[in-house]
């Protein structure tokens, strides 16, 4: 018989799939150590599968690039039939950031000045996600983790803003070589520089802060320092702001009385405020108007309070006749006509003056001196008319208006007459006269030419040519004024003269204008 024996060696196969690894999207890794199997009897047979039993490869060190975390299992069989296995998990759960969204403020929004909060958020991506904030294309915050930033913005500014998002993936790939292990580490940054918005805005969103200035007020009617003759005055103001004026913020003061947009005298139709007076302003009154307050929709106050004044003028100019004296007959046939016009309000409208003499327009022949407050008007009769007719009734009409800036002018008219003294002839009456004290024809009266205008001297002579009496007579205003033209038959010393015929002469301006005889009979 033949006998034999053999010894079965123990299985010494050792499999090394290497340590777990971390990779970034799109990266790849070589599985297994170097070598992937030791011990046992070569050659080896390799089988790589996933934990889901998907076959990967049949080589010792396959290269893989998983999209998600995957556990790989390495099965090895040696020539003797011994088997062993090992696992490696490749973590690939990193998700790069792909988009973000603006939240606040909405694009093209106007905000109060001061602290403004900018808010956004990311839509996807593995944390941590970092942010860079840009204002007007200039970076103002870097590498922040918060999704909001508070910035202080002054009034009246406009800005664009944008956010840059990124996250970082780190590759940690082990290398198993024999009994040693070393790790290869790399990083990848995934950045996006544009985000979506819910407003349909194209480009970087924009925001504004409220303007720095509030409403601007102006006085439309009447203008500052104007004169008004209106009976029921209307005041019109403009309160303008491009962003709008808050009705309830409006207050105005007129002559110390405060009115609001709710007052019955006020009508508000932006930007026009109309005040209709419930009572008339008095002539000569100064009307003071102030716009005290008005805010725009952002709370900005009135740019600056405004005040104006205007004046009420309801009185016409005054006309005062300087010459002639219309209470007596005018002795001077070349009498000038002079009058003053005064106005204490808006002033005289010189172009409105009309001047008529006996129905004939003589306005252009007036000589004016002074100003629109006090004006003297002179008409030179001798230069224009020569002289008036003796005994003429002269009709004079003067009209003038003032010059208010609003409503009709105030006008006045003055009509007056004066009478020139009539021309007289040489006349002695009674003649003869009988100065015997019975109050009948006790004196004689002498008439002479121009006796209503000029003084004269009367001289009386006896028939021998001796002067017995002399005196100044005239002028007179009326025929009834006989006292100065009388002679009672006495001499210069008051002694009675004898009956008889006496001669007389009357001298005016050195010229004898009358002569004759008068009979004295007692």
All domains in the chain, ordered by first residue: 14-91 (2.60.40.10), 100-209 (2.60.40.10), 216-312 (2.60.40.1220), 318-419 (2.60.40), 427-520 (2.60.40.3080)
pLDDT confidence band for 4 (50 / 70 / 90): low
**Do residues 521 and 475 make contact, with C-beta atoms less than 8 angstroms apart?**
no
Distance separating alpha carbons of residues 413 and 368, to the nearest angstrom: 18
pLDDT confidence band for 224 (50 / 70 / 90): very high
Tell me what percent of the residues of the chain surpass a pLDDT of 90.
80
Has this prediction a pTM greater than 0.75? no
**Do residues 306 and 223 make contact, with C-beta atoms less than 8 angstroms apart?**
no
Average model confidence (pLDDT) for the chain? 93
**Do residues 231 and 128 make contact, with C-beta atoms less than 8 angstroms apart?**
no
Token pair, residue 453, equals 């205008």
What SS3 class is residue 483? Answer: helix
The neighbouring-strand residues paired with 181 are: 176
Per residue in 278-289, pLDDT (tens digit) is 888 999 999 999
How does DSSP classify residue 494?
S
User: Would residue 442 be called left, alpha or beta, if left means φ above 0 and alpha means ψ between -120 and 50 degrees?
Assistant: alpha
Q: Hey, which bits of 178-302 come out as E strands?
A: 180-192, 206-209, 216-221, 227-228, 234-240, 251-254, 257-260, 266-269, 272-276, 286-293
Per residue in 379-411, pLDDT (tens digit) is 999 999 999 998 899 999 999 999 999 999 999
């Amino acid at each position: 018989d033949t006998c034999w024996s053999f010894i079965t060696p123990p299985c010494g196969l050792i499999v090394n799939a290497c340590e777990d690894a971390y990779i970034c999207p799109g990266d790849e890794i070589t599985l297994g150590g170097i070598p992937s199997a030791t011990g046992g009897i070569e050659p080896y047979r390799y089988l790589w599968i996933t934990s889901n039993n998907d076959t990967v490869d049949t080589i010792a060190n396959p290269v893989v690039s998983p999209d998600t975390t995957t556990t790989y299992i390495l099965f090895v069989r040696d020539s003797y039939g011994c088997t062993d296995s090992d696992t490696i998990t490749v973590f690939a759960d990193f998700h790069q950031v792909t988009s973000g969204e603006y939240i606040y403020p909405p694009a093209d929004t106007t905000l109060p000045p001061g602290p403004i909060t900018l808010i956004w958020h990311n839509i996807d991506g593995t944390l941590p996600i970092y942010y860079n904030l840009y204002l007007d294309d200039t970076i103002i915050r870097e590498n922040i983790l918060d999704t909001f930033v508070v910035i202080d913005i002054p009034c009246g500014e406009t800005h664009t803003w944008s956010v840059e998002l990124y996250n970082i993936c780190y590759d940690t790939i082990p290398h198993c070589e024999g009994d040693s292990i070393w790790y290869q580490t790399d990083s990848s940054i995934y950045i996006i520089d544009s985000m979506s918005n819910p407003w349909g805005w194209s480009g970087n969103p924009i925001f504004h802060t409220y303007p720095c200035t509030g409403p601007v007020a102006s006085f439309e009617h009447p203008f500052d320092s104007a004169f008004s003759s209106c009976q029921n005055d209307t005041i019109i103001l403009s309160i303008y702001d491009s962003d709008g004026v808050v009705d309830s913020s409006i207050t105005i003061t007129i002559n110390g009385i405060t009115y609001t947009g709710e007052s019955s005298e006020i009508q508000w139709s932006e930007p026009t405020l109309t005040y209709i007076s419930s009572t008339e302003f008095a002539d000569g009154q100064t009307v003071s108007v102030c716009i005290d307050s008005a805010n725009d929709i952002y709370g900005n106050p009135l740019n600056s309070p405004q005040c104006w004044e205007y004046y009420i003028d309801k009185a016409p100019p005054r006309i005062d006749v300087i010459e002639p004296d219309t209470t007596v007959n005018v002795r001077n046939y070349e009498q000038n006509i002079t009058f003053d016009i005064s106005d204490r309000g808006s002033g005289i409208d010189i172009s409105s003056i009309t001047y008529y003499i006996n129905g004939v327009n003589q306005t252009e022949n007036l000589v004016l001196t002074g100003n629109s407050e006090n004006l003297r008007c002179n008409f030179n009769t001798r230069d224009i008319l020569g002289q008036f007719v003796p005994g003429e009734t002269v009709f004079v009409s003067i009209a003038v208006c003032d010059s208010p800036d609003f409503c009709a002018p105030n006008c006045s008219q003055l009509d007056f007459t004066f009478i020139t003294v009539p021309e007289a002839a040489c006349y002695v009456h009674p003649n003869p006269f009988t100065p015997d004290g019975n109050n009948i024809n006790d004196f004689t009266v002498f008439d002479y030419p121009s006796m209503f205008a000029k003084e004269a001297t009367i001289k009386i002579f006896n028939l021998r040519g001796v002067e017995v009496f002399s005196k100044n007579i005239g002028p007179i205003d009326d025929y009834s004024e006989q006292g100065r033209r009388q002679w009672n038959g006495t001499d210069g010393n008051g002694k009675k003269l004898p009956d008889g015929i006496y001669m007389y002469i009357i001298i005016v301006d050195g010229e004898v204008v009358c002569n004759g005889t008068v009979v004295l009979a007692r």
